[in-house]
Amino acid sequence: MRIAVVGAGAIGAYVGACLHRGGADVHLVARGAQLAAIQAHGVDVRSPRGDFVARVPATDDPTTIGKVDVVFLGLKAYSYRTAGPLLAPLLRDDTGVVAAQNGIPWWYFHGVRGPHADRRIEAVDPGGATSSAIPARHAIGCVVYCSTEIAEPGVVVHGEGTRFSIGEPDGTVSERCTRFAAAMVAGGLKCPVEADIRSDIWIKLMGNAVFNPLSALTRATMAEIATFAPTRALAANVMAEVLAIARALGSDPEMEVERRLEGAARVGDHKTSTLIDLEAGKPLELGAITGALVELADLGGIAAPALLAIHAAVSLLAMTQGLTER
């Protein structure tokens, strides 16, 4: 199976290294110091599951790779709308694009029936830019339960988690999903193919919608937010609102609020990706995590005052710090 990883940052380089270790024909698309380090020394993975180095081919020019079976997107969700030039040389008509993102994906209403079929979500597909860059027929949903960070260019530290749940928007269990899952498993990762990937999206989003923005606003870790009584109560309110939005739109994720909070508390002193981006002076990924939720709450007729307050505060933080999505 030919696979291209577009955006070989912390998650992308880790996945690419694992796929390479498992025998897949994988190519990384990276840039800058990260690209130079990978080309010179490979991807150096440091993990409690065992350290290894993968000499994966890497380039900043996808035209040198050619058409592939699957593209794994390791970019931030707000970068998808401008990814067309990177993806075009890699795509056949049946190429799958595994979108490993937090939050609500641009393809959310693709492949569903009912009043919202094929509806565009402005927060993640502004003016149709994302769906133009990545037509929904290519989309494969992906929910990531894996923490990684770049210690230095070419060096990826894997903290915990190896699960990448994937699924087609239309609920079918496709050949391209099963083949990609097999390649991931061969590389030492978990990759269940889900018939209802939207439920997985909502379950993870219950946490992302509160812990990501609150961590940026307070500089606190997930465990601190989940164990401090006032923020735990706030988190519970936001999670209940997220579940109400999901159910109003036809999804019924099987997750209780208290169970989700306890899971977050057990993670310990983990910084969310939003807090890491804030500390690094990078744009905050809010459109898919809180912006789309606010839009969907309105669509579903759900009052979500706690969510709206957090979204307003973190959006102001991003604006005043010059860290809005671009």
Which residues participate in catalysis according to the annotation? 204
CA–CA gap between residue 180 and residue 57 (Å, rounded):
19
CA–CA gap between residue 189 and residue 232 (Å, rounded):
32
Separation in Å, CA 305 to CA 102, 121, 241: 22, 20, 8
CA–CA gap between residue 44 and residue 118 (Å, rounded):
41
3-class DSSP state for residue 143?
strand
Please work out, in degrees rounded to the nearest 5, the angle formed at the alpha carbon of residue 53 by the alpha carbons of 48 and 55. Answer: 150
CA–CA gap between residue 284 and residue 30 (Å, rounded):
20
Strand 58-59 to 25-29 pairing: parallel
CB 195 within 8 A of CB 173: yes
CA–CA gap between residue 170 and residue 172 (Å, rounded):
6
3-class DSSP state for residue 252?
coil
29 forms beta bridges with 6, 59
CA–CA gap between residue 92 and residue 318 (Å, rounded):
37
Provide the total of helices (H) and of strands (E) in the chain, helices listed first: 12, 9
What token pair was written down for 244?
């109400």
Residues found in the chain = 326
**Residue 275: which of 187, 213, 201 has the closest Cα?**
213
